[in-house]
């Protein structure tokens, strides 16, 4: 299952892709990681999808990543006597904590922590920003808001607060239950929604305790203000452009996408670009030209992965969407300009032996036009360091740890193989050559680069590289 591209494709499973045959078609079409969105999945549904993916992995003998996306706190207004109200610009509405149905003058906001956090001047967005209001007066149990952008507010519509930091965890009781269930099933990645601060990620990592890696979804202005510390503590980040574009001016999102991508690469953390990438393919077999350009931009930037949401979960053409994304990525990476852009983003290696070896591996591989960089790794850190360098040859990660191989399926340019641990340096080179040939990365007489840490199984001890010649006996 060698992919002829470096960027990975993350496909969301849903009603349109719950059949095991469709999941297999998505994998064959190009999906490297599957996302299960707990906003819509039950625990039983999650288990069924995980079982389908693991059976597919066994059939194709190739590691597949599974990402479980926690719902996070969903803020909503209460209910109205008549199901909703139509508001005009300049109208005033009271948010309070009374449970009685609302009307044109007031409605319950059943989140006391919000009422306590709102301040005059704060913006309140309803229904993904379709209705915009601002706070005029605020006390601990009620706020008066004035309408800036008119529209209808109906029962249980979502509330976004771009100016307000909510003093609650990014995890609800539902999220805790979902997290426990996901960890029990051995998933590879946990995505945390509506992150505001580094502590939100630390909380999940403490519970996960290394059983899964933790990805921060960046979708709130509060996270942008603390971006570097959030990226530092996270195992990966997602540029969640949908909610980010609701809570911030949409014209700022492209620049933020580039900023996050480059920061994550500098810190050696995978970055996923998500939301509305091929949105029209929910109902159309072909994307718009603008969508193709959007996907291409993320690939040109060197993102580790690009994600499909409703396109593969609920759309009419889930397999076509994955195949289209795959074709775009292959075409972009074949463009001469692509390599020059990737090279221009390269950061200086950190002053550690492991990073120096990874940087040297890139230089040697590119200078000698080697066919592959084979990284022996137990924890995945060696492969991650090499991937950060964005070398021209693909990275083959050889590991005895199945969990590591699955987690690396999200990482740029990494082709992971599960194999028994190496016995010594000569065995390490010989078997690396064998796998490079077997997987179609090299042929007899080609040269590859082998990188590892000695002593073996010592995380972060990457300290050796060797050029090896493949042969027919490899």
Residues with catalytic roles: 35, 76, 217, 275
SS3 183: helix
CB atoms within 10 A of CB 335: 13
The number of CA neighbours under 13 Å toward the Cβ of 30 is 25
Pairing of strands 92-96, 142-149: antiparallel
- Which secondary structure element, helix H or strand E, spans residue 418, and what is its range? strand 414-418
Where helices occur in 61-153 by DSSP H, the ranges are 112-117
How close are the terminal C-alpha atoms of the chain, in Å?
Answer: 20
Alpha-carbon span 237 to 216, nearest angstrom: 5
List the one residue out of 87, 82, 19, 81 whose CA is nearest residue 56.
19
Alpha-carbon span 136 to 87, nearest angstrom: 16
Alpha-carbon span 200 to 205, nearest angstrom: 9
**In this structure, what are the phi and psi dihedrals at residue 283, rounded to the nearest 5 degrees?**
-125, -5
Contact 132, 125 (CB under 8 A): yes
SS3 288: coil
Alpha-carbon span 222 to 427, nearest angstrom: 50
DSSP designation for 282 = G
List the one residue out of 191, 412, 441, 415 whose CA is nearest residue 299.
412
- Calculate helix-pair angle for 336-344, 289-300, nearest 10 degrees: 50
Contact 203, 228 (CB under 8 A): no
Alpha-carbon span 186 to 166, nearest angstrom: 31
DSSP designation for 252 = G
Alpha-carbon span 198 to 234, nearest angstrom: 8
Q: Is the peptide bond before 455 cis (omega within 30 degrees of 0)?
A: yes
Residues 6 or more apart whose Cβ sits within 8 Å of residue 60: 1, 27
Residue that has been written with the tokens 């599974």 in this structure = 66
List the one residue out of 340, 381, 371, 368 whose CA is nearest residue 443.
371
């Amino acid at each position: 299952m060698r992919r002829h591209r470096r960027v990975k494709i993350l496909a969301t499973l849903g009603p349109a892709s719950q059949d095991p045959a469709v999941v297999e078609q998505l994998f064959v079409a190009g999906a490297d990681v599957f996302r299960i969105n707990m906003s819509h999945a039950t625990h039983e549904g999650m288990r069924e999808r995980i079982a389908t993916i693991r059976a597919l992995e066994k059939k194709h003998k190739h590691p597949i990543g599974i990402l479980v996306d926690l719902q996070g706190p969903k803020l909503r207004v209460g209910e109205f006597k008549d199901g909703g109200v139509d508001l005009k610009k300049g109208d005033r509405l009271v948010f309070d904590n009374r449970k009685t149905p609302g009307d044109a003058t007031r409605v319950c906001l059943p989140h006391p922590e919000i009422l306590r956090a709102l301040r005059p001047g704060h913006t309140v967005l309803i229904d993904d920003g379709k209705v915009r209001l601002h706070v005029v007066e605020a006390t601990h149990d009620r706020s008066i808001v004035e309408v800036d952008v008119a529209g209808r507010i109906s029962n249980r519509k979502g509330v976004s607060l771009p100016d307000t930091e909510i003093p609650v965890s990014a995890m609800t009781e539902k999220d805790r239950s979902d997290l426990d269930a996901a960890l029990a099933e051995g998933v590879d990645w946990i995505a945390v929604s509506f992150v505001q601060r580094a502590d939100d990620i630390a909380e999940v990592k403490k519970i996960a305790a290394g059983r899964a890696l933790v990805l921060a979804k960046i979708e709130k202005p509060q996270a942008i203000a603390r971006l570097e510390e959030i990226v530092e503590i996270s195992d990966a980040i997602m540029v969640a452009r949908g909610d980010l574009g609701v809570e911030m001016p949409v014209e700022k999102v492209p620049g933020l996408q580039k900023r996050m991508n480059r920061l994550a690469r500098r810190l050696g953390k995978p970055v996923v670009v998500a939301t509305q990438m091929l949105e029209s393919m929910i109902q159309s077999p072909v994307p718009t030209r603008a969508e193709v350009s959007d996907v291409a931009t993320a690939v040109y930037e060197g993102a580790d992965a690009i994600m499909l949401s409703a396109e593969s979960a609920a759309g009419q053409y889930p397999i076509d969407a994955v195949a289209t994304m795959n074709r775009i990525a292959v075409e972009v990476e074949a463009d001469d300009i692509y390599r020059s852009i990737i090279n221009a983003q390269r950061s200086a290696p950190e002053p550690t032996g492991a990073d120096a070896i990874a940087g040297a591996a890139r230089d040697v591989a590119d200078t000698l036009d080697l066919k592959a960089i084979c990284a022996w790794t137990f924890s995945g850190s060696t492969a991650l360091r090499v991937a950060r360098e964005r070398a021209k040859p693909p990275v083959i990660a050889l590991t005895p740890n199945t969990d590591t191989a699955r987690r690396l399926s999200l990482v740029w340019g990494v082709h992971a193989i599960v194999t028994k641990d190496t016995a010594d340096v000569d065995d390490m080179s010989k078997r690396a050559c064998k796998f490079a040939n077997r997987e179609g990365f090299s042929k007899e007489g080609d040269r590859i680069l082998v990188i590892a840490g000695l002593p073996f199984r010592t995380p972060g001890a990457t300290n050796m590289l060797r050029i090896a010649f493949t042969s027919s006996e490899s």
